[in-house]
């Protein structure tokens, strides 16, 4: 049950602990998002997740001991409804993970064959949605920073944000924009103690990857649970005020484009 008054104290600057952390994760019913929900809950965090499909949300909320919220980050009307439920259920917020992603048109196709509407949809889900949700939750995150609980926003990135992969135009363009958004947010909000991370979890065995590359051998892909563990470790470090993130264990690039959360003044 959420408690706004007398929020459960969280030990600040404990580098391995997310116990008591109030975290919201978008795209929480499959792939990396689902693995993040499980990882956070297993490590003692209080998690709320967002996804579009009501039945899946309810099923996973019950199984994972997390708060499930039905909503679509690409839909303007849904954003403040999501924010309302996140803050109502958790009483505040220490960490937001913008994980929900749209691949753009599938099967993948060259930009010349990409409908403008498909590009718009990828931008709505991968850039504008995270921007809106971050903005709606920014006050809560800054309040958390003032209380020395730490505050971090993780925007899940991709190597397609940096490399020009043929066929990945809508996705890569949107992820590049999200990465730059993270960097500028970070510059602007670091004096308020809110840190922004843009991290590439690597190629994972997830529904999104299957959509993009149906013929990929899952054995060659990272398990989302592994990526989730690495991301939560990175968030711990950011919350503890570390300035540099370690490289990922299996060599996948962790895109440490940002400094970790600045300690609130």
Partner 1 sequence: MIAADKPRQRASSARLLVIAAGGSLTHAARTDLVDFLRRGDLVVANDAATLPASLHGMHLPTGAAIEVRLAGRLARDAGDLRRCIAVVFGAGDFRIRTEDRPLPPALAAGDRLALGPLAAMIERGLDHPRLIALRFDGSATEVWTGLARHGRPIQYAHMPMPLKLWDVWTPIAGPPVAFEPPSAGFALDWRLLAVLRDRGIGFATLTHAAGISSTGDVDLDRRLPFPEPYFIPASAVRAIRRSRGCSGRIVAVGTTVVRALEHAASLGGGVRPGAGIARQRIDARTKLRVVDAILSGAHEPGSSHYDLLRAFADDATLRAATAELDAQHYRTHEFGDSLLVERRRPCASCWRESVVRAAA
Binding site for partner 1 (CB under 8 A): 1-6, 67, 69-70, 79-85, 87-89, 91-93, 136, 138-140, 142-143, 146-148, 188-189, 191-192, 265
Chain-centroid distance of CA 254 in Å reads 14
Between 107 and 139, CB nearer to partner 1: 139
Residue 65 Cβ, how far from partner 1 at the closest point, in Å?
12
| Residue in this structure with the two tokens 């917020």, named with its chain if needed | 93
- Angle (CA) 170 69 107, round 5°: 25
Residue 41 Cβ, how far from partner 1 at the closest point, in Å?
16
Residue 169 Cβ, how far from partner 1 at the closest point, in Å?
31
Residue 147 Cβ, how far from partner 1 at the closest point, in Å?
5
Compute the half-sphere exposure of residue 161: CA atoms within 13 Å on the CB side of its CA: 28
Integer angstrom CA distances of residue 155 from 11, 82, 112, 217: 24, 17, 28, 27
Kindly name the residue from 40, 49, 168, 171 that is annotated as catalytic: 171
For the chain, give the longest Cα–Cα distance: 55
Between 190 and 209, CB nearer to partner 1: 190
Between 42 and 142, CB nearer to partner 1: 142
- Angle (CA) 193 199 201, round 5°: 145
Q: State yes or no: is 5 an active-site residue.
A: no
Residue 247 Cβ, how far from partner 1 at the closest point, in Å?
33
Q: Is-contact 257 182, C-beta < 8 A?
A: yes
| Residue in this structure with the two tokens 């309040």, named with its chain if needed | 143
Between 83 and 199, CB nearer to partner 1: 83
Q: How many CB atoms lie within 10 A of CB 113?
A: 11
Between 81 and 229, CB nearer to partner 1: 81
Between 93 and 122, CB nearer to partner 1: 93
Residue 72 Cβ, how far from partner 1 at the closest point, in Å?
13
Catalytic amino acids? Answer: 171
């Amino acid at each position: 049950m959420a408690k706004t008054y007398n929020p459960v104290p969280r030990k600040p600057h404990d580098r391995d602990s997310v116990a008591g952390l109030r975290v919201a994760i978008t795209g929480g019913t499959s792939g990396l998002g689902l693995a993040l929900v499980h990882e956070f809950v297993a490590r003692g965090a209080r998690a709320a997740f967002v996804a579009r499909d009501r039945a899946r949300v309810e099923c996973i909320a019950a199984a994972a001991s997390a708060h499930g919220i039905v909503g679509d980050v690409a839909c303007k009307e849904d954003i403040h409804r999501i924010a309302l439920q996140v803050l109502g259920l958790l009483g505040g917020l220490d960490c937001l993970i913008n994980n929900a992603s749209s691949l753009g048109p599938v099967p993948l196709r060259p930009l010349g064959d990409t409908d403008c509407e498909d590009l718009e949809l990828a931008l709505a889900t991968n850039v504008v949605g995270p921007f809106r949700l971050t903005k709606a939750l920014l006050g809560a995150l800054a309040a958390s920073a003032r209380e020395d609980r730490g505050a971090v926003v993780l925007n899940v990135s991709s190597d397609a944000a940096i490399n020009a992969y043929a066929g990945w135009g809508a996705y890569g363009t949107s992820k590049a924009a999200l990465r730059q958004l993270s960097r500028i947010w970070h510059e602007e909000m670091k004096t308020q103690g809110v840190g922004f991370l843009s991290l590439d979890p690597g190629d994972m065995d997830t529904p999104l990857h299957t959509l993009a590359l149906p013929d990929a051998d899952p054995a060659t892909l990272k398990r989302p649970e592994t990526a989730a563990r690495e991301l939560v470790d990175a968030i711990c470090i950011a919350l503890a005020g570390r300035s540099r993130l370690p490289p990922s264990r299996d060599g996948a690039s962790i895109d440490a484009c940002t400094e970790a959360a600045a300690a609130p003044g």
